Each structure stands twice: as structure tokens, then as C-alpha cells.
Structure 1
Amino acid sequence: MPPMPPASLPELPFEVAQFERLLSKPNSDTTGFAGFFNSGEIWVARVPARLDVMGGIADYSGANVCEAVLGRGVLVALQPRTDRTLRIRTLQLGSRSLPVETRIPMEYFGSGDGLGDYAGIRELCQANPLASWAAYAGGSIFTMLKEEGVKLQYGFSMLLLSAVPMNVGIGSSATIEVGTLACLNAYLGLRLDAGRIARLGQMAENHVVGAPCGIMDQLTITVGRKGRMTHLLCRPGSVVGEIEIPAGTGFVGINSLVRHSVGGNPYGDTRIGAFMGKRIINALRARTGRGGLDYLTQLTPDEFNTEYLPHLPESLVGSEFLAKYRTHDDPVTTIQPDATYRVVGPTRHPIEENERVLRFMEALNAANQGDAAALVTAGECMYGAHASYRDNCRLSTAEVDFLVEAVRKRGAEAGLFGAKITGGGTGGTVAVFGRTDALKLHLPQIALEYSRRVGAMPDIFDGSSPGAVEFGARRYLFGATGWAGSQV
């Protein structure tokens, strides 16, 4: 196959340029896509990773959050088949790595005359640990079929081409989910809006992957725009607006190399503790004839501290809570009767974090009006968020604390204003805010210091790129001169 015109590459995101390079390789070159794609049409979607600048796990408590899209992400390519097989292959860009592949007979999604249920698909995806990664794409496909009533006569081959590592706290699981859904949306001509795509992605992660996440990641990478931060209100998920990054400053991420997962016990237990706290608060409100809260963040910190904090237990055994309150009103987590859950800290965190996010965005707006001191204020909000993750939620680690302190020690005088743990915590990526020249100077130094501590050089995630909606979709056709791609 003749090579694609190189002139098209500079305007395209990294993953798209790499996809076109690999697609153009001749069939005799097994490092390309020979044997996976044939000469039929290919549909492509591409989504960025995200940097959780402020808000994080407060999303499931209805908080305001402020999120950025990063320069690298995931490309999903789909080619129709003539049988009823879903062939899914994943390939990591950036280094020599082996592709991993699985096949799902479409009959596995069925039960009787219709589709199966989420529990059955979750069990299917977890039955073979070597193929459990397919829950993100396969679960998203099943969720679209189930929730949108889509009927597929034939299957397709799907390629997941990733330029970001998994489990580092930059929304990599959401990139697979949203990328899969956006690609299907284009291929099937469904015209689903951004909010619906994000919601389907969250449902796939909650019900098939089994991670009790909020909608923050999925919505950010769907609606985010290059060079802007997105202000979301997670009640349950709406776009409030965009935040301009002050001139001469930027946000980057540094990978702690501590594996992160929102499916793990620390994250889930923190979420359960927050929902326990809300249930107890609502019981107290009912005694005085007041309506229940839909979200903890409907309270101000003053209201929480004066009215409700004295009545909340520091921790509570699951069986004791269930005996008194019966349910914590969270459909995606399950209280274990013999487990002990911290209540005060996880309940306090989202209420205070919501206020911090609002102060943070006010500070950035002030900085955009020329108030240089507001940059320091914004950074202090980030340090406050990190301290609450560490002390209220117990979701930080020694390695993450080291990175945050390395930024703090250099300080605003050096052009570094703030840092915090991101996403679900327990490792993952640290977000850093500073002047662009200071970030370029100091982040490599911090990475080198950290490598001496952990024995490996951490990734630095920077740049910005279009979200799923801004990118849209591309369609590739093979003709007399080889492959040609066009925006659709």
C-alpha cells in the first residue's frame, strides 16, 4: 500500500498520525495492521487523557470540578466484519510492545431472545484474568446496545491505539470507554450528544468494569477543548463553562509510578463513608422536617461543622450502619457488614473541596485580569485539596506526598504555585501548576530526584489536545492511491 501524504500529519493529534503511519505499511510488513484490517472502510475516533486539576473524587458528591485535557490520548478504529464476532486488539504506542487481542462472539451478549444483563457481562469479562482489560471496550459496546436499543447484524474489528499508560490517574479507562462509544456513534450514525456518550461510558465502568466512579472523567474528555479547562457541576453531570489558563502558566502531570485504580478498596471505602455520612445527615434533617440532601455539596462547610459534624461517628462498622439505616443510597457500592468505614473524613472532604474548587476558579479569573497574587492563591487551593485527600480520605501515598513537597519546596518564588494528587488517589499522577518556563526547568529536576527514590524515571504528561466532540470522527477508504482519511 502506498504511503499516505505526510503533509496531513502535522495538523493531526499524535495518535492519528501514528495510526496513519501504521495503516500505510505494506501487507508484507507485520509491524503494521496486516491481517487485522482489510481494504474495507475504517471509522476512527480519538479522545485525550485528562488531568484532574481540582475536584477529583468530590464528583460523586455533586461537586464543582475543574479539569484539563492532555496532549496524548487513545485512538479507536473500527472496521465492519461479515461475521458476528467482535475482535478487539490493543496496542501501546511509544515503545516496542506486543499487541494484545481477544474476540467476543456477539452471542455472548445475549440471553434468551434479548440482551443479557450487566452482571452477566461483568462475569464474562472477569472470567479470564488475561482478558479482563476487554471490559472497558466490550462493556461500552454492550452498554450502548442495551441502553440505546441498537441491534447489530454483524460484528467488527476494533483497534485501541493508546499513547497513555493505564492506571496512572489520568482517566485512561475513560478514554477507552468514550473512544469506543464515540467511534460507534459515528459508525452507526446515532447522533448521541456529549452528555449521553459520557453517561454511557460511566455506566460501562460502574456496571461492567465494576469501578464506582463518578462521571467527571468521561464528561471531561468528551467535551474538553484544546487549551482550555472545563468547569463541570457533577449533579449529576453538566458543563458550566470553560476556564482560561492564565497567560504564561500551565498545568502538567507527573506520574508517581504507584499503580492507581478506582476499583480498589481505599477509593470504594471512601465513597461508602461519604454516602454513609449523607444518609446520617438526611436522617437528622428528617427529624426537623427538612428535606433530604441529594448531594453532600449542597451544604456549606459552616453548615456541616455547626449542624452535623457533632453527630457523625469517626468510623462505623458496616453491620451497625445497616441495622440502623438499612441503606446508604449508593447504587454502585456495597457495604460489607464486617468492614469498618471512616465516616467523618470522607464526608467532610467533598463539602470543603467544593468550596476550594470555587475559590480556585475565582483566583484563576482574577489572575486573568492581571492579579499576579491570585496565582499563589490558586496554588494554595491545590495544596489544600491534597492535604484533604491525605488526611480526610487517606488516599495519598508517601511517593505522591514526596512529589507534592518537592514542588512546594521550590515554591512560588521559583514559579511553581501548587500541586496535588489527582483522580481517585492511592498513587497515580500529581498535577502541578506553574509558569511554563518554571515547569520546563523544574519538572525534569523533580523527576530525576524522584527516580533516585523509586528506581525509575516518571512520565511527565503535558500539552493539550481536542476532546472527543471537538475531534469528531474520521473515515478511511482504500483506493487506487492507498488509504485516504477525511473528517466526517
Structure 2
Amino acid sequence: MRDLRDDTRAGFLDTFGREPVGLWTAPGRVNLIGEHTDYNLGFVLPFAIGLRTAVALDPRDDRVVRVASALSEEVAEIHLDDLHPEMLSGWSAYVFGVVWALGEFGADLAAVPGFDAFIDSDVPIGAGLSSSAAIECAVAVALNDSWQLRLDRRTLAAVGQFAENHAVGAPTGVMDQTASLLGEHGAAVFLDCRSGTSEIVPMHLAEAGLEILVIDSGVSHEHATGGYADRRASCDLAAQTLGIASLRELTEADLPDAATRLDPVTLRRVRHVVTENQRVLDTVALLRQEGAAAIGDLLDASHRSMRFDFEISVPELDLAVETAQSNGAIGARMTGGGFGGAAIALVPDHAVSHLRAAIDGAFAEHGFGQPDMFLVHASHGAIREE
């Protein structure tokens, strides 16, 4: 974390020739369970991780916004009067989109100054750990402080989602931004996406001698295009066909009736969402009553549902999950929106090294690129660092 702060501050100085007024960070997230349920107004259980995105920022005396990043040679620039979603593209849309979205949520953009910002991150891009929400939330808290907007964290989460939906063009739910803003050490965030209420659920992994290993498949994904949007459209169509506001209104008892009204593919999409909602509720109950060692079967079932019903897995993720399950993991599943990204394995701490070796060997045997593997721990949400 110290290196990221230093690198971000140094990047700002090198780019803009002065010191920033402050530095803010926001974490990526791992979704323990509850995939593609957030935009269906269901339940999710993510947690913030120690990998973070940092933004160094300093106000300007005009209304120009300039943004640079360690991940790009471009210095993107726009005037506050010219902020329109259709004008935004590329990586800078995540930043400019948040600025625009703050205006949509009540900030008077005619009364605030421009700013210069530099962004750096150690959240892997395209791995399903929500590098995009980490950028959005770091920028949102930085501007909330700098412009003295006094917006609460739930509103900032909605700002980030709004920016991603309407400026970036990715039809995501609010889970990622909520985890990045509300996360706490050692705990997951249990979020009801219909009511917007959330609870902190301690996981007590260390006490149980457990770790969460992330296996980044190396297969990158992009939520603004392709299968993610198709899955959301399928869910929306199913709700419309069934005459309900969202798939959240269904329970497993409703699936036989749905089967008479939906085509087989759409039915599988609905079945995933309905059963995944129940798995989230069951996971929360088990964490509270029995502890993390009891949730393995639910993680395994979640992956099967995503693989066969929602069809968002890829061979690399299936191999990672299967190898983990047969080499000491209590449970494993892909995490994130799918079509690439990462899997997670809940594994006893004494078995981590063996599991790493087994996954490396399995990927090599199948001719896949070497995966990146690392442990993650539940961390705090977005903050001002200095």
C-alpha cells in the first residue's frame, strides 16, 4: 500500500509539475457468492480486498479537468461544461463519467472548479475483481471531499453505478461500488439490492485457519460488450414475460410455473438467479451459525449454476475450480461477471502451497497460460489516505 501511495503521488508530480492536495484510495472486491443477482435486485455477498486504486488530486483555478494514469500515456482533458456521456470513451470515461454522474445526483457542476488527477492501481484489470469500481469509488470519494458535496456512501455507490451504466456503457449492478465503499476488515457486505440495505457479516477466516486464494485465469473480459449485456437482457426479458418487476420476486417454488412460460435457455438463466439468491441467504446464515468451513458446498453449487445454467464460465475457470476442489479446497467458484477473470478457492492455510502447485501443473498440462494466484483478505472501503 505504501508503494502505491508513493507511486501515485510521484506520478502526479511528474505529470502536472506540482504536489497534489490529497490522495484517496478505494479497493477492488471479491464476490464471495451472489453472481448476476445484483441487477436483478437480489442478494450479494462481496468483500473489499487489500488491492486498491489510488487517485492523487489537486484543484485548478479554471473549469478544466485533466486526468492521467500509470496505465496509459494519455493525459485526458475535458471542460466541465462539455461533460456528456456520448463524448466519453476509453479509460478516462470511468473518471469523467463519475464527474458527470455527480452532477446527475445533485452536485452543482457550474459552481465547482476543475482539477488535475493521477491514478494508479494494483487491482488486476479484467480479472473480475472490479478494477472499474475501484476507480469510480476512489474518484467519487476524492471529489466528495474536495468539492465538499457531503454525499453519503450509499449515494456515492449509486453514482459509481450510474457512471458505469450510462457513461461507460456497462450494464452492471451496484454490488461492486457498494463493496468498495462499505467494506470492513475481516468481513463481507451482505447487500439487498432491492432495498439498498446492507449488513456487515464477519467471516472469521483466520480463526478457522482458512484462506481465500484468487486464481486469475489470464482470460480478460469486458463488461461493456458481449455476453454480460446479453445475460442482463435475458433476465429483463424473463421478468417482462412473467409479469414481474424483477427476478427477485421469484423463489424456487415458482420455477415449475416459469418452465411453462419460458424457453429452455431463458429458464436456465432464471434458475441461476433464483437459486443463487437462495445460496447467498444460506451462506450468510452458515457464516453466522457455523462458520466459513461450512459454506464450501454452496460455493461449489454456485459454480455449477454459472457454468451450466448461466453459461458464463470458460474452460480455464472450470479447470481452476475442479483442480481446487480435488486438491484440498473446501469450496471453489468463479467470481465476477464471467467470460474470463478469476476463480476463488476457500482453502485451509496448510494446503495453499499444494493447491498452487496443482493448479500450475493442471494449467500447463492443458496448454493454458500460467495463472496468477494470490491470497486476498477482507479490507476496509474507500478512504482519504493523506
- Please say whether Structure 1 and Structure 2 have the same fold, judged by a TM-score greater than 0.5: yes
Paired residues for 1:350-361 under 5 Å: 350-361=273-284
Q: What does residue 329 of structure 1 align with?
A: none
How many angstroms apart in 1 are the aligned matches of 2:353 and 2:290? 21
Structure 2 match to 1:363: 286
Pick closer, same or farther for the CA change 1:46–1:237 going to 2, 3 Å.
same
Q: Determine the C-alpha separation between the residues in 2 that align with 1:205 and 1:102.
A: 18
Q: Shift in Å at residue 452 of structure 1?
A: 5.6
Partner of 1:253: 214
Tell me the residue number matched to 1:263. Answer: 224
- Of the candidates 103, 116, 138, which is equivalent to residue 145 of structure 1? 103
1:166: Cα distance to partner?
A: 1.4
Q: Shift of residue 221 of structure 1?
A: 0.8
Aligned to 2:54: 75
The worse-fitting range, judged by mean Cα deviation, of 441-450 and 137-146 is 441-450
Residue of structure 2 equivalent to 1:438: 351
Q: Which residue identity lines up with residue 82 of structure 2 in the other structure?
A: Y
Q: Distance in 2 between matches of 1:266 and 1:82?
A: 44
Q: 1:70 is paired with a residue of what secondary structure?
A: strand
Amino acid at match of 1:145: G
In the aligned structure 2, how far is the partner of 1:22 from the partner of 1:269?
37
Are the aligned partners of 2:8 and 2:56 in contact in 1 as well (CA < 8 Å)?
no
Q: How far off is 1:103 after superposition?
A: 1.5
CA distance, structure 2, for counterparts of residue 58 and residue 35 of structure 1:
41
What are the Cα deviations for residues 143-177 of structure 1, in whole angstroms up to 9, with x where unaligned? 11232232345311111111122121101111111
Shift in CA distance, 180/22, structure 1 to aligned 2, threshold 3 Å: closer
**Residue identity matched to 1:125:** L
Instruction: Establish whether residue 380 from structure 1 lines up as the match of residue 297 from structure 2.
Output: yes
Q: Is the contact between residue 45 and residue 468 of structure 1 (CA under 8 Å) also seen in structure 2?
A: no
SS at match of 1:214: coil
Task: From the superposition, tell whether residues 452 and 17 of structure 1 become closer, same or farther in structure 2 (CA, over 3 Å).
Answer: same
- 2-structure distance, mates of 1:168, 1:17: 22
Residue aligning to 1:313: 263
Task: Indicate the percent of aligned positions where both proteins have the same amino acid.
Answer: 27
* 1:36 aligned residue: 16
Cα RMSD of the aligned pairs, angstroms, is: 2.2
The alignment partner of 2:14 has SS state of coil
Relative to structure 1, the CA distance from residue 161 to residue 122 in structure 2 (aligned partners, 3 Å threshold; closer, same or farther) is same
What is the one-letter code of the residue matched to 1:49? G
2: distance between equivalents of 1:234 and 1:124? 30
Task: State the distance in 2 between where 1:447 and 1:33 align.
Answer: 40
**Structure 1 residue 74, shift from structure 2 partner:** 0.2
Tell me if 1:46 matches 2:25.
Answer: yes
Asked whether the 8 Å contact 1:72–1:465 carries over to 2, the reply is: no
The whole-number CA distance in structure 2 between the counterparts of 1:451 and 1:150 is 55
| TM alignment of 1:91-106, pairs within 5 A | 91-92=70-71, 99-106=73-80
Partner of 1:122: 85
Which one of 114, 133, 138 corresponds to residue 91 of structure 2? 133
Gaps of 5+ in 2: none
Question: Could you say which residue in structure 1 is the equivalent of 2:82?
Answer: 108
Instruction: Give the alignment's TM-score, normalised by structure 2.
Output: 0.92
Which residue number in structure 2 is paired with residue 155 of structure 1? 114
For this pair of structures, how many residues does the alignment match?
383
Residues 271, 346 of structure 1: 8 Å contact kept: no
Match of 1:18 in 2: 4
The answer for the alignment partner of 2:41 in structure 1 is: 62
Q: How far 1:405 moved relative to its partner?
A: 0.8
Q: Give the Cα–Cα distance (whole angstroms) in 2 for the partners of residues 228 and 202 of structure 1.
A: 22
Task: Please report the TM-score for the alignment, with normalisation by the length of structure 1.
Answer: 0.74
Q: 2-side partners of 1:157 and 1:454: how far apart?
A: 45
Does the Cα contact within 8 Å between 2:211 and 2:349 map onto a contact in 1?
yes
Distance 1:467 1:394, change over 3 A: same
Contact 1:252 1:461 in 2 (8 A): yes
Deviations, residues 106-165 of structure 1 (Å, cap 9, x unaligned): 3322xxxxxxxxxxx332123xxxxx1111011011111232232345311111111122
Q: CA deviation at 1:219?
A: 0.4
Question: Structure 1 residues 443 and 309 mapped into 2: Cα distance closer, same or farther (>3 Å)?
Answer: same
Query: Is the partner of 1:304 in helix, strand or coil?
Result: helix
What is the CA distance between 1:100 and its match in structure 2?
3.8
Match of 1:85 among 60, 64, 69: 64
**1:255-312: CA deviations, max 9, x gaps?**
1111112222211111111111111211xxxxxxxxxx4332232202222x322222
Distance (whole Å) between structure 2 residues aligned to residue 237 and residue 202 of structure 1: 13
The answer to whether the 8 Å contact 1:361/1:378 transfers is no
1:252 Cα offset (Å): 2.6
- 2:48 and 2:381 in contact (8 A); partners too: no
2:262 aligned partner, one-letter code: L
Aligned to 2:126: 167
Which has the larger Rg?
A: 1
- 8 Å CA contact retained: 2:190, 2:199: yes
- Which secondary structure does the structure 2 equivalent of 1:167 belong to? coil
Are 1:191 and 2:104 an aligned pair?
Answer: no
SS in 1 for 2:200: strand
1:303 aligns with 2:254: yes
The secondary structure found in structure 2 opposite 1:59 is coil
Could you tell me how far apart the structure 2 residues matched to 1:229 and 1:177 are? 20
**Structure-2 separation of matches of 1:430 and 1:174:** 19
How far apart are residue 461 of structure 1 and its match? 3.8
How much does 1:350 deviate? 0.8
Three-state SS of the structure 2 residue aligned to 1:34 is: helix
Structure 1 position 465, deviation (Å):
5.8
* Equivalent residues of 2:258, 2:267 under 8 A apart: no
SS at match of 1:46: strand
What are the superposed Cα offsets for residues 209-239 of structure 1, whole Å, 9 maximum, x if unpaired? 0000000001011000122111111115321
Report the Cα distance in structure 2 between the residues aligned to 1:22 and 1:106, rounded to whole angstroms.
Answer: 24
Secondary structure of 1:297's partner? helix
User: What do residues 88-116 of structure 1 show as CA deviations (whole Å, max 9, x unaligned)?
Assistant: 01115xxxxx644211233322xxxxxxx
